[in-house]
Amino acid sequence: MDSIVAFYPLLAIVAAYLVGSLSFAVIVSRAMGLNDPRTFGSKNPGATNVLRSGSKAAAIITLLLDAFKGWLPVMLVKWFGQPYGLGDGTMAMVGLAAFLGHLFPVFFHFVGGKGVATALGVLLAINWILGVATLVTWVLIAAFFRYSSLASLLAALFAPLYYILGDGVVWAMDKSVVLTTAVMSLFLIWRHAENIGRLVKGNESKLGKKKA
């Protein structure tokens, strides 16, 4: 029995990765009769590129589902994991697995999106205050500068900092959560490498402006 229990964290992590591998940008686009988001615009299977199809509804649904698939695995561990030996460490790793599933989805040839919405879902599940603080950062930067990519980059950078600063004030800091937020931040920056180049050159597309 103990040997089976020892596999529960691994099973939870694998399950979270599989959930994260559901590329809702592609799934929603197919269900709504839209073009595959991997074939136009930035070719990124995410909500922003789905919006370029002209369907705001599809983009909103994609955004919510991408966030939900990051939120759900973490919450399931928080709700039901304790009797199975799934603690905070497993919770953090499950969130990271769902995020990596979005970036490298096994069901879609390991070609995924940038992970912004899924990362937000993970952060909201870990602690809603952490998630809201990160979301507010994104909204403020996007509102002032009109660059979604810049907002995503700065929100990614601030998320681990928010968690560290909250130690002893809002939550007791857990090293596994620090690791998860830091790794997600690094991957988000990496996935925005082309955007960084365009920001430096001054030709990055602004919010509300259609990309050719």
209 falls within a domain:
no
What pLDDT is stored for residue 156 in this prediction? 97
Three-state secondary structure readout of 135-183: HHHHHHHHHHHCCHHHHHHHHHHHHHHHHHHCECCCECCCHHHHHHHHH
208 falls within a domain:
no
What pLDDT is stored for residue 2 in this prediction? 55
210 falls within a domain:
no
Domain count, the chain: 1
Report the alpha-carbon distance of residue 133 to residue 187 in Å, rounded.
20
pTM value is: 0.93
Rounded to whole angstroms, what are the CA distances from 32 to 4, 21, 60, 120, 146?
42, 20, 13, 25, 28
212 falls within a domain:
no
What pLDDT is stored for residue 212 in this prediction? 46
Report the alpha-carbon distance of residue 184 to residue 106 in Å, rounded.
18
At which residue do the structure tokens 């990362």 appear? 119
Q: What is the DSSP letter of 111?
A: -
Can you give the residue range of the structural domain that contains 167?
2-201
Helix axes 116-126, 88-103, angle to 10 degrees: 170
Q: Which residues pair with 167 in a beta bridge?
A: 171
206 falls within a domain:
no
**Region class of 54: left (phi > 0), else alpha (psi between -120 and 50), else beta:** left
160 falls within a domain:
yes
Which residues neighbour 41 within 8 Å (Cβ) at sequence distance 6 or greater?
Answer: 49, 52, 211
What pLDDT is stored for residue 95 in this prediction? 98
Report the alpha-carbon distance of residue 97 to residue 17 in Å, rounded.
5
Q: What is the DSSP letter of 209?
A: S
What pLDDT is stored for residue 104 in this prediction? 97
What pLDDT is stored for residue 205 in this prediction? 84
What pLDDT is stored for residue 5 in this prediction? 64
101 falls within a domain:
yes
Three-state secondary structure readout of 2-16: HHHHCCHHHHHHHHH
211 falls within a domain:
no
pLDDT in tens, the chain (212 residues): 555 667 899 999 999 999 999 999 999 999 999 999 999 888 889 998 898 888 999 999 999 999 999 999 999 999 999 988 899 999 999 999 999 999 999 999 999 999 999 999 999 999 999 999 999 999 999 999 999 999 999 999 999 999 999 999 999 999 999 999 999 999 999 999 999 999 999 999 887 665 44
